Structures are given as structure tokens and as C-alpha cells.
Amino acid sequence: MVRVGVLALQGAFREHLLMLGSLGVESRKVTRSEHLADLDGLILPGGESTAMVRIASGTDLFARLRELMAAGLPVFGTCAGLILLADRLSDDSLGGYERLGGLDVTVARNAYGRQRDSFTAPIDVAGLSDPFQATFIRAPQILDAGPGTEVLAAHEGRAVLVRQNNVWGGSFHPELGQDLRIHAEFLHRLGVAV
């Protein structure tokens, strides 16, 4: 049985757990490095990256996760999760707090505007036959994506979903709404037929 973890320090982890359940996949909340054992994949949810890095600081969670990512663990960061994965941020608003890195992108936090500027938009996603209605909430913008990355979806000319080997990052919230297809695409990577 495939088991997918969801980082549950803060943010929209419940919605991801529900989606994984709807897809018939076993899931587990991850708040400590011990919870990373025997996972087949991990989702980093949206929320508030400043809170996540503070909660994780002083623990070995990110260091252990970085090792597992380097060894090939499939990881999908959405919104604040993308901020954790980005190799570069456009500003130093997260201060000296440790992040994960691992995705060769530059990300600008909150660049799609404030909470009241939240929006949904249909995006074409590689591998999906019909557009996906994507929800953007104080979303980070992907300013550039390195040559090793593959852009899976774009909105108004900007990448909003990218993948680099086993690491995926998206600006939007694929767990909001009823559309399971992006989670299903990620699970395909784990060899799960859903």
C-alpha cells in the first residue's frame, strides 16, 4: 500500500489528507522527522511559510527531508509549500530561517496580491485533457525556472506548476475544490493507478 505524508505544521493539510483519502491512498500527517519513515511521497501544503519555517526551526525535520528528497522521495509543494522548496526567493522576508530548497526556481512571495486579490483561473496542465480550475490565494509567483525544470502549467505566461525530477511545485491550491486530477497525476509518479 502506498503511503503519502502531508506536512502538517500549519496550513491546508487537512484538505490534502481528504483528497488523498478520496483517491484511496493511505496518508499520514508529518510534524516530526520520525513521521518521514516509510513514506512513498510527501505533500507540502499551502498556508503561511513564515509560520512553517518558525515551527520547524531547531528541529531536524527539514534536514532529514532534504536527505530523502536527494534520495528520490517524490515531494509536491503547493503555494507556501512551493516557497519552502524554491532554491531562491526574491526577497529575504523569511529571514535566516531554514527552508528546504531542491527546486530550481526563483519565487516571489505574495506576488499575486493580498488575500482580497485571491482568484481562480482555468489552467491547462500537461497530461490533463481539460483545464483545471486553479485557486490562487496570496500566491507566490515563479519568476524563473531553471533548465532542469519542466513547466507543467502556466497562467498568463508565467509558470504556475513545475517539476524537477521528483520535486513538484505549484503556486496555487490543487486541494481546494473537488478536482482530484493534479493529486492523481502526482500519484502516478509513485506508480499508483488512480
Footprint of ligand GLN (CB under 6 A): 46-49, 79-80, 83, 109-110, 137-138
**Nearest residue (CB) to ligand GLN, 48 versus 179:** 48
Give strand ranges (E) for 79-148: 86-89, 103-108, 119-123, 132-136, 141-145
What is the Cα–Cα distance from 102 to 164, expressed in whole angstroms? 9
Instruction: Confirm or deny that 98 is annotated as ligand binding.
Output: no
What is the Cα–Cα distance from 151 to 131, expressed in whole angstroms? 15
Question: Other CB atoms closer than 10 Å to residue 147's CB: what's the count?
Answer: 6
Concatenated DSSP letters for 38-80? T-SEEEE--S-HHHHHHHHTTSSHHHHHHHHHHTT--EEEETH
Instruction: Confirm or deny that 137 is annotated as ligand binding.
Output: yes
Least CB distance to ligand GLN at residue 193 (A):
30
Contact call for residues 184 and 76 (beta carbons, < 8 A) = no
Instruction: Confirm or deny that 138 is annotated as ligand binding.
Output: yes
Least CB distance to ligand GLN at residue 141 (A):
11
**Nearest residue (CB) to ligand GLN, 65 versus 137:** 137
Least CB distance to ligand GLN at residue 79 (A):
3
**Nearest residue (CB) to ligand GLN, 61 versus 83:** 83
The grid coordinates of residue 78 equal: 503547493
Least CB distance to ligand GLN at residue 192 (A):
25
**Nearest residue (CB) to ligand GLN, 38 versus 92:** 92
Instruction: Confirm or deny that 47 is annotated as ligand binding.
Output: yes
Contact call for residues 98 and 56 (beta carbons, < 8 A) = yes
Catalytic annotation, residues? 79, 173, 175
Instruction: Confirm or deny that 96 is annotated as ligand binding.
Output: no
- Binding site per annotation, positions for L-glutamine: 47-49, 109, 137-138
